Structure 1
């Protein structure tokens, strides 16, 4: 009647040396990826915030391209955003409104000859400021005209 299950502690020894080595390798790789890629995503978040702040400016339609760039530059300076996002700022005026675009690609070396490529494309269209910061306009057509 009494079917008892015998538990053998002999087979329950924990993780082996190779198991621990695998866990440490995976954690090390994850930490390397996070430490290399996180600053780019933090900058992208600040770019998003800068465009949202700009969209709330009531005088945005009357501002010149230089004034818009200066306003964005101030925001970037305060939030320590440097490099590609600040260089990729583009202001395009059209009949239906102004498009402020920050479209850039960042290549970050990860390990030896392995690079990670991150693409960011944020736009503010003054015709639809509530849809900030998703790209609504393909600016390639404007670049081809220049």
Structure 2
């Protein structure tokens, strides 16, 4: 009787290991970018929930936003990335920024993130 072996060869195991390792490496580069974007969204929502945010001057709102971002150790959002526009009952805060992280050699991972939040006297959900 002949027995047929089942399973992976060492070469195929190393190929799978290389693919999984590269995917994990990319994930390690992407996760902090998205974690920071979540912090931006959370800070914007907290600012909108603050009493008097609709009547705040844009400079004051921007200052409070950056205080919240400093607590999250965020460094990607700059003052030029924040724009305010007047809407009925307050302001709309728009944050648009780009994050660039080196990947391998001369290749970079680039993430562009945008979010807007209304700072009005109405309650925010």
Structure 1 and Structure 2 fold alike (TM over 0.5) = yes
CA–CA distance in structure 1, aligned partners of residues 38 and 84 of structure 2: 20
Matches within 5 A, 1:125-144: 125-126=118-119, 130=124
Greater C-alpha radius of gyration:
1
What SS is found at the alignment partner of 2:70?
helix
Matches within 5 A, 1:75-94: 75-83=68-76, 85-87=77-79, 88-94=81-87
Report the equivalent of 1:38. Answer: 31
- Alignment equivalent of 1:17, drawn from 6, 10, 13: 10
CA-based RMSD: 2.2
Which structure 2 segments of 5+ residues have no match?
Answer: none
Report the equivalent of 1:3. Answer: none
CA–CA distance in structure 2, aligned partners of residues 86 and 42 of structure 1: 17
- For residue 45 of structure 1, report the CA deviation from its aligned partner: 0.4
What SS is found at the alignment partner of 1:126?
strand
Report the equivalent of 1:108. Answer: 101
Report the equivalent of 2:51. Answer: 58
TM-score (norm 1): 0.73
Q: Which has the higher strand share?
A: 2
How many residue pairs get aligned? The number is 123
Moved more, 46-55 or 13-22: 13-22
TM-score (norm 2): 0.84
